[in-house]
Amino acid sequence: MASFSAMLTPARCSRLLSKQLPSSRRLASTQSLRETLKEVIPRKQEQLKKLKLEHSQAVVGEVKVEHILGGMRGLKAMLWEASVLDPNEGIRFHGLSIPDCQKVLPSAPGGKEMTAESMLWLLMTGQVPTVEQSRELSRELAEKGDLPAFVEELLDSLPANLHPMTQLGIGVAALNRDSKFQAAYEKGMKKSEYWTYTLEDCIDLVAKLPALAARIYRNVYKPGTDLAPIDKNLDLVGNYSNLLGFGNNQTLTEYLRLYIALHGDHEGGNASAHTSHLVGSTLSDPYLSYSAALYALAGPLHGLANQEVLRWQLAMQEEIGTNVSHDDIKAYLWRTLKGGQVVPGYGHGVLRKPDPRFIALQEFCQSIPELKQSSIIQLVNKTFEVAPDVLKEHGKTKNPYPNVDATSGCVLYHYGLTEFKYYTVIFGVSRALGAVTQLVWARALGLPIERPKSYSMDALEGLIKN
């Protein structure tokens, strides 16, 4: 049966990208997300059945000692339907590159950037939603966006000096009181129904993340200020920006739309996505699964990277000024490296070329005159022009090119969202799109509990000898 990628053939993508797809065909589809999934899921179930039946013994890689000792990096051992990350091409969402998505996914009214809802639809179904489908999903998310009173009280009771990511995980986990999946499982339901109740929880979780994240921002950084009500006519990120108090800044709102869509999924091997899938494989509900993912995202080697980049760039700016030459930056880079530190924002576990997400965010900055003139954005650009050659000469970095974190926090800082510790919360709102997609598909495909085999060093040495 046809896969998601096959449904988005090069010919179809070409028609979409050149806008030759008749508007009548785009507008004709009024199916909801649930109705669309009911059509798509049987095809994927049949594809999985065929793979098991005909190709279960096919070899797709080999396990080496370096995989076991190196955190399983690069080991081909996980099914993830929403996206595939290529070392040279970067991320593709059901076959669509980031530039493809920017051209074909619907934007918010009055905006240009793709919305989180349209990205969620693509990740879930493998199909490009119509404007009407995307807007209808926006309305549903807005209608479900208010927090239960007990969660508001819980968040308000937390100490303001508790890390925002800790608070976000607590809030997400607490939402499981109203889990439809958990309630249905306790009553007894068929395995074929797992995905439907999981989907309801996932939609509810995504809908409530802006209110959760904004309440944490208010409590920690703006105590005593009022939170705006959720506007049923706004998209998810439009409401999030409004709740944060930046709704009157259209440029920042558009940047947040792009940022959240780009960060929505990055295949399944990264720590937060993998954690969500692992916990979900035990049939924990989506709230518990994603709260665990958030605590993986909070680690300095994962989601905290963008704040570390900004700190480093600001320290560079303070030391060498704003009117700097390439030689000034080169000298600063070498001082960083010779001091035993890494250059934050450069290198990636998989990518071996500049991160397409970095390129997309840079292009956004270059399209806005005030950002183009920003001293911190200019410093990011100049660093990009110098850093790869320095890192190649240094010789200890497999990928000397920038990842998305090299620029993602700088626009937030420019527009006054300067609270570094909060940046990972925005990442957490973003990454939910891919995580919830996998939770739905894991239930729809009946994927088993994840349980790899482990070895001690003595046992591993014994295997090597034999």
Which is more confident, 67 or 24?
67
281, two tokens: 């494989």
**Is 302 in the active site?**
yes
**Is 405 in the active site?**
yes
Give the mean model confidence (pLDDT) for residues 87-101.
93
- pLDDT band for position 22 (cuts 50, 70, 90): very low
Other Cβ atoms less than 10 A from the Cβ of 67: the count is: 16
- Whole-angstrom CA distances from 411 to 116, 152, 236, 370 are 19, 29, 20, 11
Does the pLDDT at position 16 exceed 60? no
Give the mean model confidence (pLDDT) for residues 69-75.
89
80, two tokens: 């993830």
The long-range contacts involving 455-460, CB below 8 angstroms and separated by at least 24 positions, are 455/68, 460/65, 460/68
334, two tokens: 């070498």
Give the mean model confidence (pLDDT) for residues 50-66.
93
235-272: per-residue pLDDT in tens? Answer: 999 999 999 999 999 999 999 999 999 999 999 999 99
Please report, rounded to a whole number, the percentage of residues in the chain having pLDDT higher than 70: 94
Give the mean model confidence (pLDDT) for residues 91-97.
96
- Whole-angstrom CA distances from 8 to 93, 122, 194 are 10, 11, 27
Does the pLDDT at position 119 exceed 90? yes
What are the two backbone dihedrals, phi and then psi, of residue 85, each rounded to the nearest 5 degrees?
-105, 115
Does the pLDDT at position 15 exceed 60? no
Which of these is catalytic: 94, 355, 405, 414?
405
- The pTM of this model reads 0.90
Rounded distance, CA 346 to CA 388, Å? 8
* pLDDT (0 to 100) of residue 135: 97
- pLDDT band for position 346 (cuts 50, 70, 90): confident
**Is 348 in the active site?**
yes
Query: Whole-number mean pLDDT of the chain?
Result: 91
147-197: per-residue pLDDT in tens? Answer: 999 999 999 999 999 999 999 999 999 999 999 999 999 999 999 999 999
Does the pLDDT at position 8 exceed 70? no
* pLDDT (0 to 100) of residue 278: 98
Per residue, the 3-state secondary structure of 5-19, as one string, reads HHHCCHHHHHHHHCC
Which is more confident, 456 or 19?
456
Which of these is catalytic: 348, 355, 394, 458?
348
Which of these is catalytic: 302, 328, 355, 414?
302
- The residue extents of the domains of the chain are 305-414
* pLDDT (0 to 100) of residue 17: 44
> Do the Cβ atoms of 287 and 205 come closer than 8 Å?
yes
Assign 272 to helix, strand or coil. Answer: helix
Rounded distance, CA 428 to CA 15, Å? 34
* pLDDT (0 to 100) of residue 24: 33
The alpha carbons of the chain give a radius of gyration, in whole angstroms, of 22
- Domain 305-414 has what CATH class? mainly alpha
Per the document, the length of the chain is: 466
Give the mean model confidence (pLDDT) for residues 9-31.
46
292-341: per-residue pLDDT in tens? Answer: 999 999 988 888 777 888 888 899 999 998 888 999 999 999 999 999 98
- pLDDT band for position 406 (cuts 50, 70, 90): confident
Secondary structure (DSSP) of 156-225 = HHS-TTS-HHHHHHHHHHHGGGG-HHHHHHHH---GGGHHHHHHHHHHHHHHHHHHHHHHHHHHHHSTTP
